[in-house]
Chain A
Amino acid sequence: MLSMVLGWIVPGMGHVVLGRPVRGLIIFLTIAATFWAGMAMGGVMTLDPVNEHWWFVADMITGVHGLAAWQFYQRTWNRLASDPSVRQRQTALAREPWQAAAVMDQKLQEEHLALTAPTDTIARAYSGIAGLLNLMCIFDAMILALMGIGGEPPPPQKSLVTAGGQQGGKPS
């Protein structure tokens, strides 16, 4: 359970606590590179908890990366929502919730933050796939922990024929 939770919070940490630090480091670097590449392509609005629920769930599986990006998104969203021009337009125009959302969409386009095709697909695929890859790593760490396997496995040994004709070497 500990390796599972740690593997979610910091990708690769589940493998580190199981005595596989090299694998943990490779997992951390790969998932970080994939997730932040997606964020660099799509910008702060790559995470969209309102309109892209499932991609958002996948993003959150990256742990600290997803949480940091969400915090960045929230700060930006709150700053734009509290802009006097947005408030003025929402008061004057928005009678329904979808009209308020349309005002925010317009503001995002003015700030050059709105995602357009095909950038939205690429960026969300990168960051979302990083989350799904970490899900695979979390399950792997969980299974290893449940099986009581720690440390690197011994290198596979070639079977040797001894002088007496018996098979030597440990079974892998």
Chain B
Amino acid sequence: MTIGALFYNPMTFSCNSLLWLMLPILISVTIIYKTLRTHNIRRLPLEILGLLVYVVAGVVVLGVGLWFVQAYCL
């Protein structure tokens, strides 16, 4: 089995797992953003963690708000 075989066939996902797959993307965005913006590289892990909590909380609030709108207002 070559390394190319890992990237050959698509995986299958259920719709229930979609939301969890947002988490790695949020982590990537947070890492890159903080890597570019931080002044002190030694504090980078702490700053990434702080921003990640902030972003995830924001996304959860946004998701709950949109769910509420589509469930009760539309």
Size category, B interface? 20 to 34
Q: Are B35 and A27 in contact (CB under 8 A)?
A: yes
Q: How far is the CB of A69 from chain B (nearest CB, A)?
A: 8
Given A31-B32, A34-B28, decide whether A172 and B39 contact each other with a Cβ distance below 8 A.
yes
What separation, in Å, do the CA atoms of A72 and B3 have in the docked complex? Answer: 12
Chain B residues, Cβ within 8 Å of A133: 28-29, 32
Task: Out of B6, B28, B31, B36, name the residue touching A40 (CB < 8 Å).
Answer: B6
Task: Out of A114, A115, A129, A172, name the residue touching B29 (CB < 8 Å).
Answer: A129
Q: How far is the CB of B35 from chain A (nearest CB, A)?
A: 5
Among the listed stretches A55-63, A89-97, A152-160, which one makes contact with chain B, having 4 or more residues with CB under 8 Å of it? A152-160
Q: Are A23 and B13 in contact (CB under 8 A)?
A: no
What separation, in Å, do the CA atoms of A152 and B35 have in the docked complex? Answer: 12
Q: Are A152 and B10 in contact (CB under 8 A)?
A: no
Given A23-B35, A137-B36, decide whether A130 and B15 contact each other with a Cβ distance below 8 A.
no
Task: Out of A113, A152, A156, name the residue touching B9 (CB < 8 Å).
Answer: A113
Q: Which residue of B lies closest to A113 (CB)?
A: B9
Main secondary structure of the interface of A (DSSP, over half): helix
Task: Please tell me if B61 contacts chain A, counting CB pairs below 8 Å.
Answer: no
Task: Please tell me if B70 contacts chain A, counting CB pairs below 8 Å.
Answer: no
Q: Are A43 and B31 in contact (CB under 8 A)?
A: no
Q: How far is the CB of B54 from chain A (nearest CB, A)?
A: 18
Task: Out of A22, A27, A72, name the residue touching B32 (CB < 8 Å).
Answer: A27
Q: Are A44 and B8 in contact (CB under 8 A)?
A: yes
Task: Please tell me if A6 contacts chain B, counting CB pairs below 8 Å.
Answer: no
Task: Please tell me if B41 contacts chain A, counting CB pairs below 8 Å.
Answer: yes
Given A72-B4, A126-B25, A130-B28, decide whether A115 and B36 contact each other with a Cβ distance below 8 A.
no
Given A22-B41, A23-B36; 19 other pairs, CB 8 A cutoff: A26-B35, A26-B44, A30-B32, A31-B32, A33-B28, A34-B28, A40-B11, A41-B13, A42-B11, A43-B9, A112-B9, A113-B8, A113-B10, A118-B13, A119-B12, A129-B29, A133-B28, A133-B29, A136-B36
Residues of A at the B interface (CB closer than 8 Å) are: 22-23, 26-27, 30-31, 33-34, 36-37, 39-46, 69, 72, 76, 112-116, 118-120, 122-123, 125-126, 129-130, 133, 136-137, 140, 152-153, 155-156, 172
